[in-house]
Amino acid sequence: MADPGRPPADSSVHLHDPGPMRAMAHPTRLRLIGILRMDGPATVGMLAQQTGESAGSVSYHVSTLAKHGFVEEAPELARDRRERWWRAAHEMTSWDTVEFLEDPARHAASEALRRTVLESYHRELLAALDAEAGLEPEWIAPTDSSDGAAHLTLEEFRELSADLAAVRDKWWARRREPAEGTRLVRWMTHVFPRPEA
């Protein structure tokens, strides 16, 4: 059974407006939404402790995320009237980059969010590398970082992207609550045409 404190499985928000994109493009906000999505509901104090940010700063960023519909209160988790719990409103955020190309303001918002996401992936990968020494060898062995390149037609490029998305979606569908013998395993995929020199 799904955790009532978590967003519904397969819930997604598709962004069309630059305002929410600019709000989420802040590194602290992106980190907070990631924590709430992966670890579940939390109070501002818990988020402050986990991020090393002040409670006031976290409160401001959570309020901004709530204003744009990325997080919502989870009042059923509060033990008293003063305690405020927050949860992610959706498991996933998406947008169509091409949709934003014609409007400079929308394109800038899309690009800013994409840059923040890529920078967060980089930080997360380095943190995983730093923490690797504390893992059992059997949890290190399947770890993989790889890259590749091939001259592809546009149709082959689309096929590669779809194939990788299918693998991602297969494992995304199997996600479940933490249980004995499991660890949270992250994956990231990037498929792009290499810029011409």
Residue 144 has pLDDT above 60, yes or no: yes
Q: What domains can be seen in the chain, in order of their start residue?
A: 12-142 (1.10.10.10)
Q: Token pair 């819930």 is at which residue?
A: 11
Q: Nearest-CA neighbor of 157 among 120, 190, 182? A: 190
Residues 166, 182, 84: CA angle, nearest 5 degrees: 95
Interval 143-162 mean pLDDT: 94
Residue 18 has pLDDT above 80, yes or no: yes
Q: 139-159 burial by CB neighbour count: b if 16+ within 10 A, else e?
A: eeeeeeeeeeeeeeeeeeeee
CA distance 65 to 58: 10
pLDDT, one tens digit per residue, over 107-136 is: 999 999 999 999 999 999 999 999 999 999
Interval 90-103 mean pLDDT: 91
Residue 10 has pLDDT above 70, yes or no: no
Predicted local distance difference test score (pLDDT) of residue 173: 81
Predicted local distance difference test score (pLDDT) of residue 7: 62
